[in-house]
Homo-oligomer: A and B are copies of this chain.
């Protein structure tokens, strides 16, 4: 993969690029950002995966990509004019193009025609499934035994809900529990290889699509649903609530970026740990009660002291654990498994 992150390569500004470098590094050959060309990913992103940063599709070709992945999303999801030129260049070079934009590339007449001529594929991660439905009513039969369902929710967008979900699945698997990621956004879908972008479905079908996403995970004992947005987010609170009610989780993991005090762009104050927990538990209980398992903290840019202070605050206010999911998800899974009699390997 060649990842497009034009003008935006950074830990918080190009989430897809960072997650692909973290979870599918073997498949990434280069990153395209002309403003950083010549630098390396290790340097720009302070991570230990080293890949070249190039300025054009042509330059990237020496690294042998077969796919261009659009690793950034403009606010509102449109297709900026200069990206179109990059996509056309990639198609001309015979690359498939994978996109998580709201604007579906496959529905764009020019891009679709060029892709057809060149015999390459346009993959729209946010394209909703052809058949969506409402959640099952009380009288409708449910499919067999339900796995333990966990959901990652957040204090804002872009705080680490997807990363926490991936790490919880890995931690469960390390304990011998058959687990799956139910990916609800474009980056999660790239990491999991499947999923439904809940923010892209017709509004009436959000909860039903989330139920469907959970039920699509077969032959596992634990499903971790990637949450979206936040109940306090003026633009995306509705998506967050629909996923909370549609997933009907047994347990929640609350994700927060240490040091963030208000919703990015909107200035709405982010509640403290006890209030965040109460908010999510109350909102869930409007339909079905659940328990909070713990907090997953993103410490990027925060001092060690600030991180430890927030961990102590969570423990003091809620009695729950707060961990960095990249290193300590095992503690959260341990707590989650006490919620249900989930079969564990070797026991």
State whether the Cβ of A301 lies closer than 8 Å to any Cβ in chain B.
Answer: no
| Beta-carbon nearest neighbor of A137 in chain B | B265
Across the interface, which residues of B come within 8 angstroms of A139, CB to CB? 265
Q: A234-B245, A268-B287 are contacts. A203–B134 as well, Cβ < 8 Å?
A: no
Tally A residues with Cβ within 8 Å of B. 44
Measured between C-beta atoms, what is the minimum distance from A66 to chain B in Å?
Answer: 30
Q: A232-B287, A237-B286 are contacts. A199–B207 as well, Cβ < 8 Å?
A: no
State whether the Cβ of A272 lies closer than 8 Å to any Cβ in chain B.
Answer: no
State whether the Cβ of A55 lies closer than 8 Å to any Cβ in chain B.
Answer: no
Q: Is the CB of B203 within 8 A of A239?
A: yes
| Beta-carbon nearest neighbor of A262 in chain B | B138
Contact mask for chain A residues 270-301; partner B; CB cutoff 8 A; 1 contact, 0 none: 00000000010011001110000000000000
State whether the Cβ of A60 lies closer than 8 Å to any Cβ in chain B.
Answer: no
State whether the Cβ of A102 lies closer than 8 Å to any Cβ in chain B.
Answer: yes
State whether the Cβ of A160 lies closer than 8 Å to any Cβ in chain B.
Answer: no
Q: How many copies of this protein are present in the complex?
A: 2
CA distance A83 to B198 in the complex (A): 30
Q: A76-B134, A198-B203 are contacts. A279–B286 as well, Cβ < 8 Å?
A: yes
Measured between C-beta atoms, what is the minimum distance from A108 to chain B in Å?
Answer: 15
Across the interface, which residues of B come within 8 angstroms of A161, CB to CB? none
Q: Is the CB of A286 within 8 A of B231?
A: yes
Question: Which among A139, A236, A243 has the highest number of chain B CB atoms within 10 Å?
Answer: A236
| Beta-carbon nearest neighbor of A275 in chain B | B286
Across the interface, which residues of B come within 8 angstroms of A75, CB to CB? 134
Across the interface, which residues of B come within 8 angstroms of A243, CB to CB? 238
Across the interface, which residues of B come within 8 angstroms of A203, CB to CB? 198-203, 206, 238-239, 242
Q: A203-B203, A282-B282 are contacts. A238–B245 as well, Cβ < 8 Å?
A: yes
State whether the Cβ of A27 lies closer than 8 Å to any Cβ in chain B.
Answer: no
Q: List the 6 closest A-B pairs by CB distance, nearest first.
A: A238-B242, A238-B238, A137-B265, A199-B204, A138-B267, A232-B286
Extra pairs beyond A102-B202, A138-B266, A204-B235 (6, CB < 8 Å): A76-B133, A76-B134, A135-B266, A200-B203, A232-B287, A237-B241
Q: Which residues of A contact B (CB under 8 A)?
A: 75-77, 102, 133-135, 137-139, 198-204, 206-208, 231-232, 234-243, 245-246, 265-268, 279, 282-283, 286-288
Enumerate 27 A-B pairs (CB-CB under 8 Å) in ascending A order: A75-B134, A102-B202, A102-B204, A134-B235, A137-B265, A198-B203, A199-B202, A201-B202, A203-B206, A204-B236, A204-B239, A206-B238, A206-B239, A207-B234, A207-B235, A207-B236, A231-B241, A231-B283, A232-B286, A234-B245, A234-B246, A237-B286, A238-B238, A238-B240, A238-B242, A238-B245, A268-B288
